Amino acid sequence: MFIFLHSTMALASASPLSRILSRKQLSFNPRTLPSTMIRMASQVEESSSQSASCTPPKILDSHLHVWASPKEAAENYPYFPGQEPPIPGDADFLLKCMSEAGVDGALIVQPINHMFDHSLVSSVLRRHPSKFVGCCLANPAEDGSGIKQLEDLVLKDGYRAVRFNPYLWPSDQKMSNEIGRALFSKAGELGVPVGIMCMKGLSLHISEIEELCENYTSTIVLLDHMGFCKPPVTEEEHNTFSSLLKLSRFPQVYVKFSALFRVSRNHYPYEDTRNTLSQVIASYGANRVMWGSDFPFVVKECGYKEAKEAISLIANQIPVSSSDMEWIMGRTLGQLFQHSWQAP
């Protein structure tokens, strides 16, 4: 019995059990020993669980871009003709901004500046696998070649989402055309969400989005920048915003509360978006809402760190619970892209 207890105490001294053993005396009665050890093990598990819950939640940016620096473009990653970026947006600049703001990870959306050449973003994803997840750009080429491109980008290059830019479709075609349906269906088959950019207004594309969601229920949709809905003023704007809220009937639809400088009528900190955020949370639930910066465009508008801080300033006026804030600031994105943003 002494040998058994001595071994038990030695093991405890090298584990979290020692914290409990220092406060409680262990009975030497062999009939009570097992139950005593079980109680102590339960306390250790509870203590460990509490410690884990104290770990700060990750702050994740659901929407940003990177593109080559002029030097990188000249040497390895050329810009698409006519799409030379007007501002810096290289990965080193992004990492510096994220570090200063305390942002742990992000979803990189393939920029139009490199069109369908994903080599620059792919190189960033390879260099920082625990920092970034990639969202590729759908190619709606009429020959259907974009479907194979999507498959390769996901299965070979590790992209976890795809963006639909409706303005890349032929002007007389919709995202719900034959090619669009095939791409949307393939995304669901591959398990990658589809981000949709409605820069010219959600009202122009709401019927396409509804059609795709109704017919392909397994494909997750991410609405970029709240569908570009500003706080509504006119009747038409109220109707459009109402259609955004009604999309919540599709459980696969999520909303990015992102690029606030694009969806606000005011200057920083864009406090007029508080009512739209409140209604989006009420309709979708915070677990289907996610913050995004729209780096690097946001830098010249208000600053990257300030863009993150604006969310708290706006949320405090609603108010938003701390639990809902955790969802919006990273948990929603982390749940969508599980096993990402983990230490290598």
For the segment 90-105, what is each residue's pLDDT rounded down to a tens digit? 999 999 999 999 999 9
pLDDT above 50 (res 8): no
And the tokens for 115?
A: 């069109």
And the tokens for 155?
A: 């299965």
Q: Tokens 């409140």 map to which residue? A: 278
The per-residue pLDDT of the chain, averaged, comes to 88
Domain ranges within the chain, ordered by starting residue: 2-53, 60-336
Of 297, 335, 295, 329, which Cα lies nearest the Cα of 104?
329
Instruction: Convert the pLDDT of each residue in 280-336 to its tens digit.
Output: 999 999 999 999 999 999 999 999 999 999 999 999 999 999 999 999 999 999 999
The pLDDT score that the predictor gives to residue 341 is: 86
**pLDDT grade for 342, boundaries at 50, 70 and 90:** confident
pLDDT above 60 (res 251): yes
**pLDDT grade for 51, boundaries at 50, 70 and 90:** very low
C-beta of residue 202 within 8 angstroms of C-beta of residue 244: yes
pLDDT above 90 (res 87): yes
Q: Is the peptide bond before 231 cis (omega within 30 degrees of 0)?
A: no
Distance CA 163, CA 116 (A): 11
The pLDDT score that the predictor gives to residue 110 is: 98
The pLDDT score that the predictor gives to residue 53 is: 52
Instruction: Convert the pLDDT of each residue in 183-217 to its tens digit.
Output: 999 999 999 999 999 999 999 999 999 999 999 99
Question: Backbone dihedral region of 292: left (phi > 0), alpha (psi from -120 to 50 degrees) or beta?
Answer: beta
The pLDDT of 65-75, averaged and rounded, is 97
User: What secondary structure does DSSP assign to 162-187, as a single string?
Assistant: EEE-GGGS-TT--TTSHHHHHHHHHH
Crossing angle of helices 91-101/304-315, nearest 10°? 40
Of 324, 246, 247, which Cα lies nearest the Cα of 285?
324
Q: Which CATH superfamily is domain 60-336 in?
A: Metal-dependent hydrolases (3.20.20.140)
C-beta of residue 312 within 8 angstroms of C-beta of residue 271: no
pLDDT above 80 (res 31): no
**pLDDT grade for 55, boundaries at 50, 70 and 90:** confident
C-beta of residue 302 within 8 angstroms of C-beta of residue 310: yes
C-beta of residue 323 within 8 angstroms of C-beta of residue 277: no
C-beta of residue 314 within 8 angstroms of C-beta of residue 280: no
3 state DSSP class of 56: coil
H or E segment at 324?
helix 322-326
The CA-based angle 146-121-252, given to 5 degrees, is 60
